[in-house]
Chain A
């Protein structure tokens, strides 16, 4: 039960941050910012928590960053862009996926370092 509460509280903060960014830069800019930065930070945190146990892990990872980033709006935007212009939509889909995965890689290996 304590775990669910941690995840819930982290989720409220992640959602508020994402909403604030959406209000400032709009949906398209928001998707790039939250998904790339959120993937980078989740990579960093997972690298960090591998070396150091923490009771707050779920709050930050599954709760805050899991909620800060979003897939549902990404699917919706991808779908709409594909209909309006297949090439733009395709580039958007590939671009965001590669950027976010690369960011998670960088964050994770930057913090974790080489395995002993």
Chain B
């Protein structure tokens, strides 16, 4: 059962992440903004769920591992940095890394205290 919930959550998380990416491209913003958005929103909600202090396998499989694990992404974050450096935007790539990491920590904390 937990495998099915992980798969379902992961699929939904990925589809949502893709939707954010499409919307960001539609408003002509660089695609790395969608990575920042999903990682910060995902970190907020994982903090929020952590604050419930429930030990429910269903919640854990569907929401934490599946949905939020799939909605946020580390590989796209890494590749965004590669693209920025390849375009010689070194400073922007630094700021981008800092925003993702500090933002992720900050939003986790906000979600946790929420």
Tell me whether B15 and A101 are in contact (CB under 8 A). Answer: no
Is B58 interfacial (CB-CB < 8 Å)?
no
Residues of A within 8 A of B39 (CB): 71-72, 75
Number of interface residues of B (CB under 8 A): 52
Across the interface, name the chain B residue whose C-beta is closest to A10: B14
Pick from A11, A73, A79: contact of B15, CB under 8 Å: A11
Secondary structure at the A interface, as helix, strand, loop or mixed, is helix
Number of interface residues of A (CB under 8 A): 49
Tell me whether B72 and A71 are in contact (CB under 8 A). Answer: yes
A78 to B104, CA, bound (A): 9
Tell me whether B12 and A22 are in contact (CB under 8 A). Answer: no
A7 to B109, CA, bound (A): 30
Tell me whether B15 and A7 are in contact (CB under 8 A). Answer: yes
Across the interface, name the chain B residue whose C-beta is closest to A22: B65
Pick from B7, B38, B75, B109: contact of A104, CB under 8 Å: B75
Residues of A within 8 A of B77 (CB): 71, 100
A19 to B101, CA, bound (A): 23
Residues of B within 8 A of A42 (CB): 75-76, 78-79
A65 to B17, CA, bound (A): 12
Residues of B within 8 A of A38 (CB): 74-75
Given A19-B6, A67-B14, 8 more A-B residue pairs with CB atoms under 8 Å apart are A12-B8, A15-B14, A16-B3, A35-B75, A70-B73, A72-B42, A72-B68, A75-B104
